Amino acid sequence: MLEFNFTPFPNLETHRLNLRRLTSTDVNEVLALRSNPEIMKFIPRPLITNQEEALEFIITMDTTIDSNTVINWAITTKENDKVIGMIGYYRMKPENYRAEVGYLLATEHHGKGIISEALQRVVKFGFEEMGLNSIEAVIDPENIASEKVLLKTNFEKEAYFKEYQFFDGIFFDSVFYSLLKKNFEKY
Least distance from ligand ACO to the Cβ atom of residue 161, Å:
14
| 112 touches ligand ACO by CB under 6 A | yes
Tell me, residue by residue from 43 to 82, as one string, x for binding to ligand ACO by CB under 6 A and - for no binding.
Answer: x---------------------------------------
| 139 touches ligand ACO by CB under 6 A | yes
Of 74, 135, 137, 175, the one binding ligand ACO (CB under 6 A) is 137
Which of 122, 130 has the CB closer to ligand ACO?
122
What is residue 97's DSSP assignment? T
CA angle 53, 56, 62 (to 5 degrees): 150
Give the strand order in the sheet containing 71-77: 12-13, 17-20, 71-77, 85-93, 98-105, 134-139, 170-180, 156-167
Which of 66, 111 has the CB closer to ligand ACO?
111
Q: Please provide residue 184's backbone torsions phi and psi, each rounded to the nearest 5 degrees.
A: -60, -40
DSSP string, 123-168: HHHHHHTS--SEEEEEE-TT-HHHHHHHHHTT-EEEEEEEEEEEET
| 149 touches ligand ACO by CB under 6 A | yes
Which of 4, 89 has the CB closer to ligand ACO?
89
| 111 touches ligand ACO by CB under 6 A | yes
3-state secondary structure of 117: helix
Binding range to ligand ACO, per CB under 6 A, among 74-82, 99-107, 121-129, 164-172: 99-107
Contact criterion met (CB below 8 Å) for 139 and 177: yes
Sites for ligand ACO among residues 10-49 (CB under 6 A): 39, 42-43
Binding range to ligand ACO, per CB under 6 A, among 21-29, 44-52, 141-149, 159-167: 141-149
Q: How many CA atoms within 13 Å lie on the side-chain side of 87?
A: 25
User: What residue type is assigned to position 135 of the chain?
Assistant: I
The binding site for ligand ACO (CB under 6 A) comprises 39, 42-43, 102-105, 110-116, 137, 139, 143-146, 148-149, 152
